[in-house]
Structure 1
Amino acid sequence: MDKRFADGRDFIRREGRLLEQRLFATCFEGAPGAGVLDAVRGYRNDDGGFGHGLEPDKRCPASLPIDVECALRAMATAKTVDQALVRDACDYLTKVAASDGAVPLAFPVIEDFPRADHWTDWTYEPGLNPTAGIVGLLYELGVEHPFVPAAAAYVWTTLDTVDLPTDAHALSEVLGFLEHTPERSRAIAAADRVRDALTTASWFRLDPDDGGYGLSPLSVAPSADSPWRGLFGEDVIQAHLDRLARDQQDDGGWPVTWEPPGQAALGEWRGIVTLGSLRTLVSYGRLSPVAVPTGPA
């Protein structure tokens, strides 16, 4: 086993949340996805939504669409789904959606709890972030619910009639939608526009030597088989893989480049980022998660 992989594994075991520990076990050790579902259920509320800081930058227990998205992403990562759990979450999303089907990231209730500075009133506006990403995950998980076509119609109408967002986060959410929508020819045509917008978007870090906050090409194409890998030159992908490998810290984990609301949130984020970094580096062949024979048995 690659020592760097083992160091990252040990960091998650030592510092990560139960959710990241179980995701690691499912992704790399053959553990069943049921353990991930059990961990996700701990963040569920009676209204069917998810909260309790599942996305760690706000420590609010109330259900928020961003936390629903995080729950769906955990299921997609584990390649498992609890259909009843997700249908309840879609019932919640339907209740809080705007008339056009869009949902916001959060609601003003977060102001009663510790949160990162960037979680302010801009997160209360329904938009492609997170609506497009949520619908993409629901498609990926094979979920059928009235929320899905309603929200998908909002996404397509917005893509067809409004200028694309200038923020890399929203464009990344759109790519998540385009990857999984069943309307493939329409998605391929839209992806060209998104690619062009992404290169000049705010918070997009095309230069691998830029150590500031932002999304990189590996955020858009986190696995070697991503359909969006081809949006970037292979030299760009390899340079960002070099940077990602260099960023591993002495404790085995990866850093974050923003200010979470406290030490607990910082530790949770490092576990999330470390798991994502390991998955990306393994997918692209930069790390080995299994023991490699060195000679005759």
Structure 2
Amino acid sequence: NSLVQKAVEYLLNLYDSEHHSWPIIPLHDNTAPHAPWWTCDPARMARWNGQKANPGAQIIAHLHHYHSLTPSDFLMECTEAMLFHLESLPDAMEMHEIGCCVFLAETKSLPDHMRTRIVGKIQRAIDCTLARERPQWESYGLKPLSVVTSPDSPFAPGISAEIERNLDYEIERQDANGSWAPNWSWGGAFPEAWNDAAQEWRGVLTLQTLRTLRNFGRLV
């Protein structure tokens, strides 16, 4: 697929070999509609640059999936650099970094010895960071179903009770039209564009939630 090949080439060219990372957002002039946290300024970019796993771990997962299009020496080098970075972090990790690492850990083409290292680290991060109770799920945070979308997940056994409660919660939260709405906003920035983005996010969240409910046998 030429489109996939071009995407892989783009990611390879975008890699910062000095810092072993990808930029979280491309440089832009802030005029296009965007969430406030995606505004480009030096202080914000410096803060993002410290979070190498977001999006780096998820990009590496895609490169392992398309390993036939990725130089093997580069793939091993960037994966080892990511593992070294993860193992240097405190267990209380940022929630989006955890999500990207979960995606990498569940990538089937990742070598098992690398998966074992990631799972151990992210299990400890989940223990420290997970929002476990219903009142916490009303606001933006790391919910059980943010990290476990299937009973086959390596992270499911330790939080089985929380998963069941979160499944009940999501079923109750479904809107009358059958969708699930985002529980965040752009805080008044670009209001017309946010209305469109919120509708698109409804589609994403609805598909994700229905898939998870199906995986756990909760669809009737």
TM-score bracket for this pair, using the shorter chain length: 0.7 to 0.9
Distance 1:194 1:219, change over 3 A: same
Q: 2:45 aligned with 1:118, yes or no?
A: no
Per the normalisation by structure 1, the TM-score is 0.62
Q: 2:186 aligned with 1:268, yes or no?
A: no
Q: Which has the higher contact order (CA 8 A, sep 6+)?
A: 1
Distance 1:238 1:179, change over 3 A: same
Distance 1:162 1:278, change over 3 A: closer
Q: How far apart are the structure 1 equivalents of 2:177 and 2:116?
A: 42
Matched residue SS, 2:28: helix
Per the normalisation by structure 2, the TM-score is 0.81
Distance 1:176 1:110, change over 3 A: farther
Distance 1:253 1:145, change over 3 A: same
Q: 2:53 aligned with 1:128, yes or no?
A: yes
Q: Which runs of 5+ in 1 are unaligned?
A: 1-81, 289-297
- C-alpha contact 1:130 1:173 (8 A) present in aligned 2: yes
Q: 1:287 maps to which residue?
A: 219
Could you tell me how far 1:231 is from its partner in structure 2?
3.5
Matched residue SS, 1:87: helix
Q: 2:107 aligned with 1:184, yes or no?
A: no
How many residues in Structure 1 have an aligned counterpart in Structure 2? Answer: 203
Could you tell me how far 1:110 is from its partner in structure 2?
5.8
Percent of paired sites with the same residue: 27
Q: 1:205 maps to which residue?
A: 131
Match of 2:84 among 140, 157, 162: 157
- C-alpha contact 1:103 1:130 (8 A) present in aligned 2: yes
Q: 2:21 aligned with 1:95, yes or no?
A: no
User: Over aligned residues, Cα RMSD in angstroms?
Assistant: 2.3
Matched residue SS, 2:153: coil
Q: 2:159 aligned with 1:240, yes or no?
A: no
Q: How far apart are the structure 1 equivalents of 2:208 and 2:4?
A: 23
Q: How far apart are the structure 2 equivalents of 1:165 and 1:94?
A: 30
Q: How far apart are the structure 2 equivalents of 1:110 and 1:138?
A: 29
Amino acid at match of 2:178: G
Q: How far apart are the structure 1 equivalents of 2:16 and 2:117?
A: 27
Could you tell me how far 1:143 is from its partner in structure 2?
4.5
Q: How far apart are the structure 2 equivalents of 1:226 and 1:143?
A: 26
Matched residue SS, 1:111: coil
Of the structure 1 ranges 222-231 and 160-169, higher mean CA displacement relative to structure 2 is found in 160-169
Q: How far apart are the structure 2 equivalents of 1:186 and 1:97?
A: 21
Could you tell me how far 1:165 is from its partner in structure 2?
6.3
Which aligned pairs between 1:64-75 and structure 2 lie closer than 5 A? none
Matched residue SS, 2:134: coil
Could you tell me how far 1:174 is from its partner in structure 2?
1.4
Amino acid at match of 2:63: L
Q: 2:155 aligned with 1:228, yes or no?
A: yes
- C-alpha contact 1:254 1:273 (8 A) present in aligned 2: yes
- C-alpha contact 2:8 2:63 (8 A) present in aligned 1: no
- C-alpha contact 1:135 1:151 (8 A) present in aligned 2: yes
